[in-house]
Structure 1
Amino acid sequence: MNQAIDQEGDEQALGSGEEPLGPGGAWAMAVGGMIGGGIFSTLGVVITVAGHWTWFSFMLGGLLALASGESYSALTRQIGKSGGSYAYLRELGWNRAALAVVWTLIAGYTLTVSVYAVTFGAYAANVFHAATWAKLFAAVAAIVVLAGVNLMGAAQATLLEKVAVWGKLMILLALAGIGMWHWAPERLLLQAGQPVGFGAALVGMGVVFMAYEGFQLLSYDYDEMRDAPRTIRVAMPAAILVTMATYMMVAVGATMLAGAPAIVQQEEVALALAGREALGLAGFIAVSIAATFSAGSAINATVFATARLAESAALDGELPALFASRDERDVPWFGTLVISGVAIVLVLIGNIASLVEGASLVFLLIFALVNWLAVHCRAGRRWVSICGLCGSLAGAVMLLLYLLDLV
């Protein structure tokens, strides 16, 4: 019966002129959602905290994301529909909690869109040594263009995602490889002779966790997938593993090229600096292109999925009915425009640096909730969800202590 439902959903999607997401497209969406502003805008932040243990902070975050991904995937397959943590709570009849979560998630995702846009603008303007206004202009333009791509439909958004993801992965891995070839572990230290303690890696994991926000977007795209149970089960862990490996390699290789102090000093465009050290002007341009591709694909993936989350809540009567409106291309246009518009406002008026840490805290708490729900609902492997729950809470506590300047 479930197979018949899946086939019917695929036929409806194809009938509407859109191609459902297969494992490759879903994988690209998840990787694009994570490696967006991720490594490009957070590397300097986590090095400030974790020093030469930065690679370990990324590994801890990746393992936590992998455990949480197991919970998301199992819960989504269990209820058989899109919606993520919001849908899980609705399925249990906890509607008030679901309403609070959906508004929190939409706000958090809109914030991440603005962070990715700022990253896009910073790297794009840096190539031309442009003024501050050019950074803002490029950031706003990125949101406007990618909102337009989303309004064209899922097939166009997925094609862009595949091209952007493979392009940035090749450039990042090449940068990491060159850096590790010129092995220089002393350049990982913030201050010579004063290594950071191992415990800082735990704090670093909490601070940088926003870099792993994005894989769970697939739980909102479930209804857009071909053979959805298999697609989400395969694509989600594969995307997390590739992202974790990339982050760890770049954290070591890029830092060995540019040196930890230089990356912290120029954290907004840190990897462009490493690219220049690796291959001169060509490396600088290549990494800047990768950063803009990366931030652009993250904007695309986040807007794509968040608009569908808002649509799901509107169909349940939790959000205004306009969020459930679809245009002639079968796209939730109102949610796409609202999310993009608010993100533009945040780019123009917000202090993104401090909000990034706040967003990391929000997602750690949301992931703790999802892992707990997986245990409660007996979805997936219980021990994996318990590890995810403990890790999420530990990361949230460490980040909160850091924000309160207690560690």
Structure 2
Amino acid sequence: MHAAMSDSEQGKLSFQATWAMAVGGMVGGGIFSTLGVVIEVAGPLAWLSFVVAGLVALVSGYSYVKLAESYGEGGGAFTFLREVHANSMAGATSWVLIVGYVLTNAVYAFTFGEYLGHVFDFGPWMPRVAALAILGVFIVLNLRGAGEAGGVEIFLVWFKLAVLLGLATFGLMQWDVAALSRGTDGGSYTSALFGAATIFMAYEGFQLLAYDYDDIRDPNRTLPRATLSAIVVVIAVYVAVALGVAMLIGADKIIAEKEVSLSIAGEQAFGMTGLVIVTIAAAFSTGSAINSTLFATARLAHLVAQNQELPAVLDHRNRANVPDRAVIGLGLASAVLATFGTLSSLVEAASLAFLVTFAVVNGLACYRGAGVRLLTGLGCVAASITAGALVVRLYFNNVASLVCFAIVVLVAWFVRPWLLKHVQTESPSQEK
């Protein structure tokens, strides 16, 4: 006999809503942004890249939920590390993680602009202007307190899944294995590992749930079920899309049009109707991902500032109780990167940031005995190896991005303590 739901549980996220947020956070911009990037790296084994990256994400998700269960709170890597008094590592990791989120939002905005620009071909300036516009819209919405996902998220998630699976099914029905390697160098298991490392950011969205622990109904039961099942579903969707779309239009076409490859596939399958539907799905996906990521990142930055690991200027909320300075600063940083970056460089840099973070979280879970140590330990090793593979790839193919990321890490570890000594970090009560 089930007891009536307590007042404290009413209004909290159900399993379905939690699951939808996890799937939406991953699919939001993941496959729309990364398919062309991974096929360019892994060729016909792009599907295997999604499996490898997905397994690392699955173990990492297990570590996240076990740490949340162990400590009885969310907050992600920053909070978990502070619980074991690893304050320096918590501060440095949080800086790297925030940079990863900024890069991710830049990828989403870039992708939004490219898909919109492909339909409304007003010139080469259109995608960048659209990217800036969508970031501006969600900065304003977040400042007004409209950043949290509503019930419409469940509908949007099922709409995105229906579009992606419909496209994948149509492509798989063609069953043209030769199309998987057309225009590529063939692919190998090594290239599949490099591919997994390159597009790992396609799976990072599930960890946004770590910041919503207190808003989830019966979190110790709901969070693990929703998180892990969502990652498994997303792996299956990504594999199906990687195979189906490549069989539909060929790997060479995906690489040549990697910024908008799914729109090309939609048009190939269903004509103008397919083009419009896929573009709408991409716009809604990337838009909702920008919204949720900006909201969660601003909340994380505010938490870090409250704990004196960021300047006190970010420890401020406006009358809508929104961390306004964090929202504006993070949104503007993403806008700069979306304007001047390239899709591959943004995706790779974001992936490296999350691989480093997940390696730390898996290592912490293993150290604390949260969950099965063998599993979390393997997760730490797997994330570290995958991060190492991406470092090697960047060294030979995009050393500028590697240097920039190295600078971020050096600043987080060595400049951060000096900076925090010379700026105000302890904030008085702020006016709301």
1:41 paired residue number: 33
Q: Superposition pairs for residues 4-153 of structure 1, below 5 Å?
A: 10=8, 19-153=11-145
User: For 1:208 and 1:91, how far apart are their aligned partners in 2?
Assistant: 31
Listed one character per residue, the Cα deviations across residues 319-362 of structure 1 (whole Å, up to 9, x for unaligned) are 23453434454433332222212212222233443132122112
Is the aligned partner of 1:285 residue 2:285?
A: no
Letter matched to residue 59 of structure 1 = V
Q: Which amino acid aligns with 2:49?
A: S
Report the CA distance between 1:403 and its aligned residue: 1.4
Residues paired across the two proteins, number: 394
Tell me if the contact between 1:165 and 1:297 (Cα under 8 Å) persists in the aligned partners. no
Question: Which amino acid letter does the alignment assign opposite residue 62 of structure 1?
Answer: G
Matches within 5 A, 1:262-341: 262-341=253-332
Instruction: Give me the identity figure in percent.
Output: 45
Please point out which of 161, 167, 189 is paired with 2:153: 161
Alpha carbons 1:30, 1:236 under 8 Å: kept = yes
Structure 1 CA distance, aligned partners of 2:305 and 2:346? 27
1:184 is matched with: 176
Which aligned segments of 4 or more residues in structure 1 are displaced greater than 6 angstroms?
none
Q: What's the counterpart of residue 415 of structure 2?
A: none
- Which runs of 5 or more structure 1 residues have no equivalent in the other structure? 1-5
The 1-side partners of 2:17 and 2:142 are apart by: 14
Q: Is residue 196 of structure 1 aligned with residue 187 of structure 2?
A: yes
The one-character-per-residue Cα deviations of 1:104-126 (angstroms, maximum 9, x if unpaired) are 11111011111100100100111
RMSD across aligned C-alpha pairs, in angstroms?
A: 2.3
Q: CA 1:395–1:69 in 2, change beyond 3 Å: closer, same or farther?
A: same
Cα deviation per residue 1:196-228 (whole Å; 9 max; x = unaligned)?
223321111111111112111111222332323
Q: CA deviation at 1:64?
A: 1.0
Distance 1:406 1:149 in 2: 38
Instruction: Quote the Cα distance in structure 2 between the aligned partners of 1:373 and 1:47.
Output: 33
TM-score for both structures, normalised by structure 2: 0.85
Residue 122 of structure 2 aligns to a residue whose secondary structure is coil
Pairwise CA distance, 1:70: 0.1
**CA–CA distance in structure 2, aligned partners of residues 328 and 28 of structure 1:** 30
- Quickly say closer, same or farther: Cα 1:107–1:195, change in 2 above 3 A: closer
Between the aligned partners of 2:308 and 2:24, the Cα distance in structure 1 is: 30
Distance 2:141 2:149 in 1: 6
> What is the CA–CA distance in structure 1 between the aligned matches of 2:252 and 2:189, rounded to whole Å?
19
Cα distance change on mapping 1:33 and 1:384 into 2, 3 Å: same
Q: CA 1:29 to 1:327, structure 2 compared with 1: closer, same or farther past 3 Å?
A: farther
Once residues 18 and 212 of structure 2 are traced to their aligned partners in structure 1, the CA distance between those partners, rounded to angstroms, is 8
In the TM superposition, residue 150 of structure 1 has moved relative to its aligned partner by 3.4
- For 2:12 and 2:99, the matched residues in 1 are separated by 27
Structure 2 residue identity aligned to 1:211 = A
Q: Deviations over 1:77-121 (max 9, x none)?
A: 212223211111111111111111111111110111111001001
Query: TM-score, normalised on structure 1?
Result: 0.90
User: CA 1:179–1:286 in structure 2 vs 1: closer, same or farther (change >3 Å)?
Assistant: same
Greater mean alpha carbon deviation, residues 237-246 or residues 112-121? 237-246
CA contact (8 A) 2:104 2:346 kept: no
Q: Distance in 2 between matches of 1:338 and 1:189?
A: 43
State whether residues 53 and 196 of structure 1, in contact with CA within 8 Å, keep that contact through their aligned partners in structure 2: yes
2:385 is matched with 394
Match of residue 404 from structure 1 = 395
| AA of the residue aligned to 2:271 | G
